[in-house]
Amino acid sequence: MSLRVLNPNAEVLNKSAALHMNINAAKGLQDVLKSNLGPKGTIKMLVGGAGDIKLTKDGNNLLKEMQIQNPTAIMIARTAVAQDDISGDGTTSTVIFIGELMKQSERYIDEGMHPRVLVDGFEIAKRATLHFLENFKTPVVMGDEPDREILKMVARTTIRTKLYEALADQLTDIVVNSVLCIRKPEEAIDLFMVEIMHLRHKFDVDTRLVEGLVLDHGSRHPDMKRRAENCFILTCNVSLEYEKRYPSFHWKLILFFHNEINAGFFYSNAEQREAMVAAERRQVDERVRKIIELKDKVCSGTDNNFVVINQKGIDPPSLDLLARAGGQIVTRLLFIVTGPNDHTIAQIKDAVRDGFRAVKNTIEDEAVVLVGSARRNSCLIILLHIDLYKAVLVAFDGGFGSSVGAGAFELAARKHLINEVKKTVKGRAQLGVEAFADALLVVPKTLAENSGLDTQDEIVTLTGEHSMDNIVGINLQTGGTLDPQMEGIFDNYSVKRQLLNSGYTKISSF
């Protein structure tokens, strides 16, 4: 009543109606995103207000582009986006898991169970599932020679949910090789050292990895070489061009103790101006001669080449001097390695981005290409015909591990909760453990549904195999079971861990 006094137009719901409104919002968001899950998931078409079209099946991109009005759905979407920011994948899984937890809760609440008792059971089940995950995961030893195959399996599992199989397999090798290229033992992996350059021609399968730097400018003089090997590279930020001056200009010198001195330089006739230009030209030429002297010193008596990469401009007279000296010049590189342009096609960019994150958490045409060095600590991926999001992600957190996929972990965790954990819980909190265990099945159920399989038959078959201690997952091609470890289907351990934490944290706040 007090709220209506303050705002007569306010919408007031009792606690039961408000709770069911939250549950319906979670289930609605789940219904929107669950068809994305897995390699058989469908692609969504997003149409913007200006008529621009974006095709994607990445949950993170969908949640960012969708106009969500319900406050509860907004909170779930933010949780899922945070999941992607932290662990790099699992956005869709987080949304459908929270939605399934709410759906299971509704069943017990309608029977008179208090939500707090249910949440207590969820907390017990979450802790037990996280402990089970620690024992269930496959550890990955990241020494001087990391296990490249397990990294490829994790990346392939992630990328195949975004792209068709042939391209996913190609990008898997590129993603893994690029991360291992920049990796330094005992140091965090800095994915800012991986750059994606997109070129608007050819095809997506022409994507390739360059272990080195790709600069977006070519040689600045027609007499310079187009290819140079065994190079000395000089990088500098100095002007090698004559800069036009105004007829007069002033300097203000600010000295200590807040004293100011104004000084000016003026010319009154053409002779004085020509003398000033000649003096400045001599200054620029002197800089160029110093560079040529350095080139002669380091390249003397060898067949080595000399390349100058300058952030500021070089005028034609300076270029001519350097070209006659046998140097190769690249200028105006103020925006080297700053990422691609605006994005239009989201599907492949999301796959590469998530593939980078999967590897991270389990562990250049008309341009100058600097390939290879004594210390390879950077690389670049050239993707043709598409726009890509920059593959620059969160810092490496040091946790290595993977978990078998295809729904095998969820089925094994449910069996553990029902057969072992539930027996140790007293009172009605047992029902919370049971509801949490049943909610885990939403992942294999959704995978089966998106593949056109009979959900109930597949779950019965899978649970029967797990009851006999067989760790199997769902075969999305033919139905039935498969051994995910033999098939090389591995999920990201950090994604599973974050999903369990995010799901419980969010549902406990409703």
CATH 1.10.560.10 residue window(s) in the chain: 16-139+402-507
Looking up tokens 């998530």 gives: 354
Extract long-range pairs of 472-476: CB within 8 Å, 24+ residues apart: 472/408, 472/411, 473/404, 473/405, 473/406, 473/407, 473/408, 473/411, 473/444, 474/406, 474/407, 474/444, 474/447, 474/448, 475/406, 476/38, 476/39, 476/40, 476/406, 476/447, 476/448, 476/451
CATH 3.30.260.10 residue window(s) in the chain: 148-216+336-384
Q: What is the pLDDT of residues 480-509, one digit of tens each?
A: 778 777 777 777 777 788 888 887 787 777
pLDDT of res. 242:
66
Confidence check: pLDDT of 4 > 70: no
Report which of 190, 192, 195, 193 is spatially closest to residue 396, judged by C-alpha positions. Answer: 190
Q: What is the mean pLDDT of residues 39-48?
A: 78
**Percent of the chain predicted with pLDDT > 70:** 65
Confidence check: pLDDT of 351 > 60: no
- Domain 148-216+336-384 is found in CATH 3.30.260.10: yes
**Kindly report the CA angle at 455 between 449 and 461, in degrees rounded to 5?**
135
Count the residues in the chain: 510
What average pLDDT does the structure give for the chain? 70
Q: pLDDT category, 333, cuts 50, 70, 90?
A: very low
pLDDT of res. 299:
74
In Å, how far are 42, 84, 396, 398, 399 from 188, measured between CA atoms?
36, 19, 5, 7, 11
**Kindly report the CA angle at 321 between 316 and 324, in degrees rounded to 5?**
120
Confidence check: pLDDT of 74 > 50: yes
Confidence check: pLDDT of 217 > 80: no
Q: What is the mean pLDDT of residues 184-193?
A: 70
pLDDT of res. 368:
35
Q: What is the mean pLDDT of residues 68-86?
A: 81
**Signed CA dihedral, 103, 109, 115, 120: sign only:** negative
Q: pLDDT category, 394, cuts 50, 70, 90?
A: very low
pLDDT of res. 258:
47
Report which of 221, 227, 218 is spatially closest to residue 325, judged by C-alpha positions. Answer: 221
C-alpha span between 443 and 24 (Å, rounded): 19
Confidence check: pLDDT of 395 > 70: no
Cβ burial of 402 (10 Å; 0-12, 13-18, 19+) is buried
pTM recorded for the entire structure: 0.65
pLDDT of res. 250:
44
Strand partners, 404: 490
Report whether 348 contacts 275 (CB < 8 A): no
C-alpha span between 103 and 33 (Å, rounded): 15
Q: What is the mean pLDDT of residues 87-115?
A: 83
Confidence check: pLDDT of 384 > 50: no
Helices (H) and strands (E) in the chain, counts: 17, 16
CATH number listed for the domain at residues 231-330: 3.50.7.10
pLDDT of res. 329:
46
Q: What is the pLDDT of residues 397-451, one digit of tens each?
A: 333 455 566 778 888 888 888 888 888 888 888 888 888 888 888 888 888 888 8
Q: What is the pLDDT of residues 263-302, one digit of tens each?
A: 555 666 677 667 776 777 777 777 778 777 777 777 776 7
Least confident of 173-187, 333-347, 366-380: 333-347
Looking up tokens 């989201």 gives: 346
pLDDT of res. 399:
38
Which tops the pLDDT comparison, 126 or 322? 126
**Percent of the chain predicted with pLDDT > 90:** 0
Report whether 44 contacts 57 (CB < 8 A): yes
Looking up tokens 């033992």 gives: 185
Q: pLDDT category, 396, cuts 50, 70, 90?
A: very low
pLDDT of res. 225:
64
C-alpha span between 323 and 224 (Å, rounded): 6
For the domain made up of 16-139+402-507, give the CATH fold. GROEL; domain 1 (1.10.560)
Report whether 88 contacts 354 (CB < 8 A): yes
Least confident of 128-137, 342-351, 482-491: 342-351
pLDDT of res. 387:
28
Q: What is the mean pLDDT of residues 14-25?
A: 77
Question: How many CB atoms are located within 10 Å of the residue 443 CB?
Answer: 27
- In 39-103, the DSSP E strands lie at 44-47, 53-56
Question: How many CB atoms are located within 10 Å of the residue 74 CB?
Answer: 14
Q: What is the mean pLDDT of residues 248-274?
A: 55
